[in-house]
Chains A and B, each alone.
Chain A
């Protein structure tokens, strides 16, 4: 590309880079601050002495965290939820997407089914009907409430992404297999799924991040703390408020009373799984977003 390298152009570059770098720093500085806070002493945190670096560097919060058995229970529940949720997502998505990627000519019921599936994404009965339904199913305090309710709400988007990917695969592949006498199960499992690893990796990562981050269903479907997934547990601890009316003084005292360094340690540990899968997310999701788009 042609670029004039005049002095003013270089100045513009320098200013642009400075702004972009500053904006990027503001995206991680808050996370860095939380880490610093978790490694500082309680007194320093309460006095507001912590800025960029830990004050009175120590691991007390993390040692204290090791004593908290509920934290690890909740962590384990979240891990189970992610494995079940993402696993189910990985199996169901291609099974739904393959028939729906057919035309009406090949699969008569396709359009009705497609609109039904889309409708479940666009419309919902709201929180209370959902809550009553789960009670009726006797799924309160069951991990399946978390896996199945959350999954049903996110799977449709993943199915659409995969349908669009399937439709962009060369038609001749399937035709050749049909000529050789292959049936639909063979075509899906031996041909389409192996070719769709990028999109299936993408939707799996979406599902993993969703199930790890979701906290509301843990809060409403689990009646006891021992069943809380990690995000719900942290939500109750760090940011829950007394629903009665409160004054500014009460609000201030509440934040002073909380153990900020320990809370920061919990927040930081809960962030780690996302940070671990982040490099993979990076690799796949940009791709995922564009590969799922409809090509005219």
Chain B
């Protein structure tokens, strides 16, 4: 077959896309040298003086940065756990429903929040949990004094995790539901003939049938240990909850773009990018090793 000389055309096809990625993904990566410079915006990256690891030394003396790393990991891990378990339980429950119309309607509704932005949902949540909002009205019936929910530092991480699970659980059920449809119906028939109860079928047929998927999702979520969700927290937080709710990304935004501490913000961002890169690569490697999963 004649495929000689095709490579030239393949490069031509890829040229515009590659140029795009080089200009807007790869070139910005070189900006990380700012972390090793005494950066002067007037002189630019090429004109600024190098100071080695000074910024990193300084970074570790700040209690702020340690706190945001801690907050990030705590919130991210709670989210990972919630986003693995809640969709699994929901998918198993949905799988028991035999009324197709009802099942479809429920699915249609629970997928929706995933597609709305955190700007929108942040506004909605702040309304719902407002001082005069419906949640406080509801609690008022039971004699509870109104609470300024999003001003409570001890509640904030849980509100963030809860609302994230609420937004994403529907969408996350899709993968479990796809795995559930992959289970051979003959297994249920055989179990039924053997007189297995509904619960025993769940335990001996359904759960083993989606075990690989669950393990895979758990392994892949390792890559998210440093992603506590910038969009969400940025739209929900305020200075009252910085102690528990400020995460790496929001801190970098404020340090860099509001306080103009370019070097420090770049250094913290770089640390996160490197650690994140290692975690994601590790998760892909483990996923391939344990379940033979490849992303490409």
Contact A96–B14 (Cβ < 8 Å): yes
Contact with A along B271-282 (1 / 0, CB 8 A): 011001100110
Alpha-carbon separation in the docked complex, A186 to B41 (Å): 49
Contact A129–B34 (Cβ < 8 Å): yes
Confirm or deny: A282 has a beta carbon within 8 angstroms of a beta carbon on chain B: yes
B261 shortest CB reach to chain A, Å: 9
Contact B131–A118 (Cβ < 8 Å): no
Alpha-carbon separation in the docked complex, A37 to B252 (Å): 35
Residue from B34, B122, B178, B193 in contact with A128 in the complex, judged by beta carbons closer than 8 Å: B34
Confirm or deny: A33 has a beta carbon within 8 angstroms of a beta carbon on chain B: yes
Contact A251–B296 (Cβ < 8 Å): no
Alpha-carbon separation in the docked complex, A264 to B127 (Å): 8
Contact with A along B86-106 (1 / 0, CB 8 A): 000010011011110010011
User: Considering the complex, which residues of chain A in the window 123-165 have a beta carbon less than 8 Å from any beta carbon of chain B?
Assistant: 123-133, 136-137, 148-149, 151-153, 155-156, 159-160, 163-164
User: Considering the complex, which residues of chain B in the window 166-195 have a beta carbon less than 8 Å from any beta carbon of chain A?
Assistant: 166, 170, 174-175, 178, 185, 188-189, 192-193
Contact B127–A33 (Cβ < 8 Å): yes
Confirm or deny: B81 has a beta carbon within 8 angstroms of a beta carbon on chain A: no
**Interface magnitude class on chain A:** 35 or more
Alpha-carbon separation in the docked complex, A98 to B17 (Å): 12
Contact B148–A251 (Cβ < 8 Å): yes
Q: With A2-B189, A48-B132, A248-B240 in contact, is A181–B2 under 8 Å at CB?
A: yes
Residue from A24, A184, A209 in contact with B13 in the complex, judged by beta carbons closer than 8 Å: A184
**Beta-carbon nearest neighbor of A37 in chain B:** B127
**Beta-carbon nearest neighbor of B279 in chain A:** A122
Confirm or deny: B47 has a beta carbon within 8 angstroms of a beta carbon on chain A: no
Alpha-carbon separation in the docked complex, A131 to B128 (Å): 35
Contact with B along A28-58 (1 / 0, CB 8 A): 1011011001000000011110110000000
Residues of B close to A248: CB separation below 8 A: 148, 151, 240
B239 shortest CB reach to chain A, Å: 5
Residues of B close to A68: CB separation below 8 A: none
Alpha-carbon separation in the docked complex, A28 to B166 (Å): 11
Q: With A46-B132, A267-B124 in contact, is A13–B115 under 8 Å at CB?
A: no
Residue from A96, A128, A216 in contact with B230 in the complex, judged by beta carbons closer than 8 Å: A216
Residues of A close to B17: CB separation below 8 A: 92, 95-96, 155, 159
B92 shortest CB reach to chain A, Å: 10
Contact B198–A122 (Cβ < 8 Å): no
Residues of B close to A125: CB separation below 8 A: 28-32, 269-270, 273
Residue from B26, B175, B257, B269 in contact with A220 in the complex, judged by beta carbons closer than 8 Å: B257
**Beta-carbon nearest neighbor of B109 in chain A:** A24
Contact B14–A127 (Cβ < 8 Å): no
Alpha-carbon separation in the docked complex, A199 to B187 (Å): 32
A271 shortest CB reach to chain B, Å: 6
Confirm or deny: A3 has a beta carbon within 8 angstroms of a beta carbon on chain B: yes
Confirm or deny: B119 has a beta carbon within 8 angstroms of a beta carbon on chain A: yes
Alpha-carbon separation in the docked complex, A20 to B280 (Å): 34
Residue from A160, A239, A244 in contact with B235 in the complex, judged by beta carbons closer than 8 Å: A239
**Beta-carbon nearest neighbor of B86 in chain A:** A23
Confirm or deny: B285 has a beta carbon within 8 angstroms of a beta carbon on chain A: no
Number of A-B contacts (CB under 8 A): 314
Residue from B11, B28, B105, B230 in contact with A133 in the complex, judged by beta carbons closer than 8 Å: B28
Residues of B close to A107: CB separation below 8 A: 6-7, 10
Alpha-carbon separation in the docked complex, A256 to B116 (Å): 25
Contact B192–A2 (Cβ < 8 Å): yes
Contact with A along B126-141 (1 / 0, CB 8 A): 1110111110110000
Q: With A235-B119, A248-B151 in contact, is A92–B16 under 8 Å at CB?
A: yes
Residue from A26, A124, A136 in contact with B166 in the complex, judged by beta carbons closer than 8 Å: A26
**Beta-carbon nearest neighbor of A96 in chain B:** B17
Contact B13–A188 (Cβ < 8 Å): yes
Confirm or deny: A197 has a beta carbon within 8 angstroms of a beta carbon on chain B: no
User: Considering the complex, which residues of chain A in the window 89-113 have a beta carbon less than 8 Å from any beta carbon of chain B?
Assistant: 92, 95-96, 98-100, 102, 106-109, 113
B110 shortest CB reach to chain A, Å: 5
Q: Which residues of A contact B (CB under 8 A)?
A: 1-4, 9, 12-13, 16-17, 19-21, 23-28, 30-31, 33-34, 37, 45-48, 50-51, 92, 95-96, 98-100, 102, 106-109, 113-114, 116-118, 120, 122-133, 136-137, 148-149, 151-153, 155-156, 159-160, 163-164, 175, 178-179, 181, 183-185, 188, 209, 212-216, 220, 231-232, 234-235, 238-239, 241-248, 251-252, 255-256, 260, 263-264, 267, 270-271, 274, 278, 281-282, 285-286, 289-290, 294, 296
Given A51-B134, A106-B6, 20 other A-B residues pairs in contact with their CB atoms under 8 A: A12-B198, A27-B110, A100-B14, A109-B7, A114-B296, A124-B25, A125-B28, A125-B269, A127-B256, A128-B269, A132-B28, A153-B25, A178-B3, A179-B1, A184-B9, A185-B13, A213-B116, A213-B120, A264-B127, A274-B116
Closest 6 CB pairs of A and B: A129-B31, A126-B269, A48-B132, A2-B192, A213-B117, A99-B10
27 A-B Cβ contacts within 8 A? A2-B192, A24-B105, A45-B132, A51-B134, A92-B20, A109-B10, A113-B18, A123-B277, A125-B29, A125-B273, A127-B269, A128-B256, A129-B29, A129-B34, A156-B21, A160-B295, A160-B296, A164-B296, A231-B119, A234-B120, A238-B122, A252-B131, A255-B130, A255-B131, A270-B119, A271-B116, A289-B178
